[in-house]
Amino acid sequence: MTVTAIVGANWGDEGKGKMTDALAAESSYVVRYQGGSNAGHTIINSYGKFALHMLPSGVFHPEITNVIGPGTALDIDVLLKERDELLARGVPEPTIRVSERAQVVLSIHRLFDELEEERLGANGFGSTKRGIAPFYADKYAKLGVQVADLYDEERLLHRLEQSLAAKNVLLQQLYNRQPIKAIDLLPELLEQAEKLRPFVCDTSSLLHEAYRNGQSILLEGQLGALRDPDHGIYPYSTSSSTLAGFAPVGAGLPPYAITRIIAVVKAYSSCVGAGPFVSELSGEEADQLRRLGGDAGEFGATTGRPRRMGWFDAVASRYGCMLQGATEVALTNLDVLGYLDEIPVCVGYEIDGSLIKESFPVTAKLDQAKPVLKRLPGWRCDISKIRSFEQLPEAAQQYVRFVEEVIGVKIGSVSVGPNREQLMTL
């Protein structure tokens, strides 16, 4: 029995949700350990198509326990709405457990996210405006509200007052808004707390026990390695660690528990939000890849924004897999490239006349990086119905082997479509 982390090696949107949904069948627990409702995992199965923002991707299997760990940014409204939507669409009642230590995204976090992005204008970071940056800022400034605080009204009011003291100065002086009273935030939070109550427990003890009993646990990452605040394209990063190394912390498991780290790598690149993106395409080339990519074009699962598109980036993907400590790779969206005669791939960056291949430059240097492209033969056919590697056209096999070689990690599975069964193991 294993503890497996499924994480992104790129900028996010690699297809982690699909991989988690496919692998969940063999797991007892699926755990979200970081991030909030700011990214969406698209899942297509016999119940239909879903974009999960807050719920773990194991919710389609009633026998699986889905855990929201202490490291997450819990948006209670989104969680409850997603659950209601699942039930309304015929999915059996999922088992959900929310950590009493998880912290809560408040309406003031969403408000500050919007006001700040508006203030920054063209210099903004492309925030999804789900309150994530203000939430984590509060968490690490020790101004956050834990789920357990919701069940002690006096304590909750005190925590909110502490959090609002500095925010009200900013609201009035910087954003030209009215101050907010802590007491006014209470009714909504207390109502949410009651609805959340049946799901709340000590998830860390729950998971430790499961781990000791040898049950299999899937830790589900959000976004990708290049959005990690320490190792990614800071400041165009997210606000919590996207790395498998953080998974035991955010979930509440021993660091040595993880034995398998599946880094999900996309056969081309896509990216939502601002920041350097060396292999980025423009014009018709980008439009075509965006139109044909994903399950219905490459548009953000949370915002609906068109994703920025690029060719596969060997430098970034190798770095992403290294950071994740990948023990294997799942290569997704290979089917999408079937329209090309030749497939360009970015094998290096040129910065000031020097060729960079082995290391991923810091953000300050990335803006000057130009992609060095190589062309691989295309296969020009539909591979979405193929279920074994050997039956893939020779050129598609070559492409997979090429990716494996440049990233230096074994490819364990290849995905050729958005559905659960469009997957082959190698």
Contacts with ligand GDP, residue ranges (CB under 6 A): 8, 12-18, 39-42, 44, 294-295, 301, 332-333, 335-336, 415-418
- Whole-number minimum distance, CB 289 to ligand GDP, in Å? 11
Q: Which is nearer to ligand GDP, 113 or 335 (CB)?
A: 335
Q: Which is nearer to ligand GDP, 72 or 333 (CB)?
A: 333
- The span from the CA of 412 to the CA of 198, in Å, is 38
Residue 363, judged by CB atoms within 10 A of its CB (0-12, 13-18, 19+), counts as middle
- The span from the CA of 68 to the CA of 207, in Å, is 11
Q: Which is nearer to ligand GDP, 76 or 416 (CB)?
A: 416
Alpha carbon distances (Å) from 183 to 139, 143, 147, 161, 189: 20, 16, 18, 8, 10
Q: How many other CB atoms are found less than 10 A from the CB of residue 202?
A: 15
Q: Tokens at residue 194, please?
A: 């009651």
User: Do residues 280 and 23 touch, judged by C-beta distance below 8 A?
Assistant: no
Dihedral of the alpha carbons of 8, 14, 17, 22, in degrees to the nearest 10: -100
Q: Which is nearer to ligand GDP, 149 or 335 (CB)?
A: 335
- Whole-number minimum distance, CB 23 to ligand GDP, in Å? 13
- Whole-number minimum distance, CB 180 to ligand GDP, in Å? 33
How many residues make up the chain in this entry?
426
The three-class DSSP label of residue 307 is coil
- Whole-number minimum distance, CB 206 to ligand GDP, in Å? 25
- The span from the CA of 342 to the CA of 344, in Å, is 6
Instruction: Confirm whether 13 is a catalytic residue.
Output: yes
Please identify which of the residues 21, 41, 109, 313 carries the catalytic annotation.
41
Q: Which is nearer to ligand GDP, 278 or 301 (CB)?
A: 301
Strands 29-32 and 73-74, how do they pair? unpaired
Q: Which is nearer to ligand GDP, 99 or 419 (CB)?
A: 419
- Whole-number minimum distance, CB 311 to ligand GDP, in Å? 16
* H or E element, residue 31: strand 29-32
Q: Between vectors from CA 300 to CA 295 and to CA 301, what angle results, nearest 5°?
A: 70
- Whole-number minimum distance, CB 93 to ligand GDP, in Å? 23
Instruction: Confirm whether 41 is a catalytic residue.
Output: yes
Does 235 sit behind a cis peptide bond, omega within 30 degrees of 0 on the bond before it? Answer: yes
Residues with a known catalytic role: 13, 41
